[in-house]
């Protein structure tokens, strides 16, 4: 048996036992045409992180900020979820996964049908006027030439966590509660290098849970994983789910 098949079988056996959750990063959305953040061709490689990644930068140049992010949000609205997102949803349908903890802001897990999605970094499909507090859908914001508030003309920011912002406390607490009560975590498309988000799967390990990693590149937690599946998540996740389903059918 090849190492790849052995890792897949090991992962499937653990997942089929239930009581787990999925942790995702930008890599799961790359097959949908959405760039990741930290690869050599990622978003931060071509950005002034202060101007497009902080609230202060947004205030200094709101039009520049929104013009930078608009292609990502347009792509998320147009392309939709891929087979990896749908595989994650399937694990929930099978009642093996209790939900998704994600670093992503593209809303694709929800579009794929996942019901419990804990968004550590917010959701970019909605925005809020800094001046009057009005809520505005990103789809509507993209149609505005100056990306301003349709009610008062004020500065609008997407409902996402920017640099120097705290993570949403309630969501983070719920994620840690899920992490320490789960028997396994399936990490898909995360570098596991961004904190405090990466502390969530680490908490599962510390509590005695098992780690499975699906990623194109190595992560710092690979040495602690019981199975590492290296490659395109849009191919590997559906394959893994198929093996899980075969195991469930065989065992029942």
Q: How far apart are the first and last CA of the chain?
A: 25
Q: Which residues contact 144 (CB under 8 A, 6 or more apart)?
A: 150
8-state DSSP, 29? G
Instruction: Please compute Rg for the chain using Cα positions.
Output: 19
Could you identify the residue written with the tokens 């003309």? 153
55 in Cβ contact with 62 (< 8 Å): no
Crossing angle for the helix pair 83-93 and 233-251, to the nearest 10 degrees: 20
Given 121, 158, 224, 252, the catalytic residue? 121
CB atoms within 10 A of CB 228: 21
Q: Is the dihedral of CA 51, 55, 59, 65 positive or negative?
A: positive
Separation CA 180–CA 187 (nearest Å): 15
Query: Is 158 considered catalytic here?
Result: no
Catalytic residues, by residue number, are 121
């Amino acid at each position: 048996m090849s190492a790849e098949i052995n890792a897949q079988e090991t992962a499937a056996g653990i997942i089929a036992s239930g009581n787990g959750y999925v942790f995702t990063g930008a890599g799961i959305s790359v097959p949908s045409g959405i760039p990741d953040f930290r690869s050599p061709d990622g978003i931060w490689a071509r950005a002034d992180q202060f101007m497009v990644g902080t609230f202060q930068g947004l205030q200094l140049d709101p039009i520049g900020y929104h013009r930078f992010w608009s292609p990502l949000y347009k792509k998320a609205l147009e392309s939709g979820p891929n087979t990896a997102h749908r595989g994650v949803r399937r694990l929930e349908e099978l009642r093996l996964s209790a939900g998704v903890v994600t670093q992503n802001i593209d809303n694709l897990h929800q579009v794929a049908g996942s019901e419990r999605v804990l968004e550590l970094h917010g959701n970019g499909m909605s925005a809020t006027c800094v001046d009057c507090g009005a809520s505005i859908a990103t789809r509507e914001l993209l149609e505005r030439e100056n990306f301003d508030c349709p009610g008062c003309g004020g500065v609008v920011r997407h409902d996402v966590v920017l640099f120097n912002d705290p993570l949403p406390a309630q969501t983070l607490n719920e994620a840690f509660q899920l992490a320490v009560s789960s028997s396994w975590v399936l990490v898909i498309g995360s570098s596991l290098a961004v904190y405090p988000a990466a502390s969530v799967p680490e908490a599962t390990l510390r509590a005695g849970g098992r780690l499975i990693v699906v990623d194109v590149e190595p992560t710092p937690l690979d040495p602690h994983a019981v199975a590492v599946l290296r490659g395109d998540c849009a191919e590997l996740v559906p394959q893994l789910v198929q093996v899980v389903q075969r195991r469930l059918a065989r065992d029942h």
